[in-house]
């Protein structure tokens, strides 16, 4: 089922995240402090260590994820989203990172900043989505139905 929601870009917030800081905690804190419930995120810089998921072990549902951990200085470029999740927000980032001739691409799950990460958060206004558990995939995914549609079990077109 395709879901679509439409909104507008509101504020644009630039964030400098310094050496040793937790990337996700910092982005989440900034979004929550600024009242951003929906947003798009672009990041670049370097990470010292962390974990990312680089696809499933096999292409089945629900997936069994393949996890990579990394240490040392890695250049990083990524894009992601911010959605409401529970009482707060969830930052979801997909990145490509490289060190020497090794490159990883995937869903970043944890990262400690090395030197600096620059982030641009674009607030999205008028979006109805939130993160909910998807029973088919077993994953927490964006769901663009309204709270009433979610409560009543309706699809967006009903």
d(CA 158, CA 92): 29
Q: What is the pLDDT of residues 48-64, one digit of tens each?
A: 999 999 989 999 999 99
Q: Is the pLDDT of residue 133 over 80?
A: yes
Q: Where are the domains of the chain?
A: 8-130
What pLDDT is recorded for position 24?
98
What pLDDT is recorded for position 1?
72
Q: What is the pLDDT of residues 85-120, one digit of tens each?
A: 989 999 999 999 999 999 999 999 999 999 999 999
What pLDDT is recorded for position 147?
58
d(CA 120, CA 39): 10
39: number of Cβ within 10 Å? 27
d(CA 3, CA 75): 34
- Note the CATH number of domain 8-130: 3.30.1330.80
What pLDDT is recorded for position 152?
60
């Amino acid at each position: 089922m395709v879901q679509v929601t439409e909104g507008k870009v509101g504020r644009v917030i630039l964030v400098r995240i310094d050496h040793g800081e937790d990337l996700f905690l910092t982005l989440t804190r900034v979004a929550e402090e600024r009242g951003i419930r929906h947003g798009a995120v672009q990041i670049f810089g370097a990470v010292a260590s962390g974990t990312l998921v680089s696809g499933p072990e096999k292409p089945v549902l629900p997936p069994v994820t393949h996890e990579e951990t990394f240490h040392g200085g890695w250049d990083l470029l990524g894009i992601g989203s911010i959605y409401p999740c529970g009482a707060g927000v969830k930052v979801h980032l997909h990145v490509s990172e490289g060190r020497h001739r090794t490159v990883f691409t995937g869903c970043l799950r944890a990262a400690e900043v090395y030197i600096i990460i620059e982030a641009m958060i674009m607030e999205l206004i008028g979006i109805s989505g939130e993160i909910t558990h998807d029973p088919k995939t077993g994953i927490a995914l964006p769901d663009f139905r309204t709270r009433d549609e979610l409560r009543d079990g309706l699809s967006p077109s009903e």
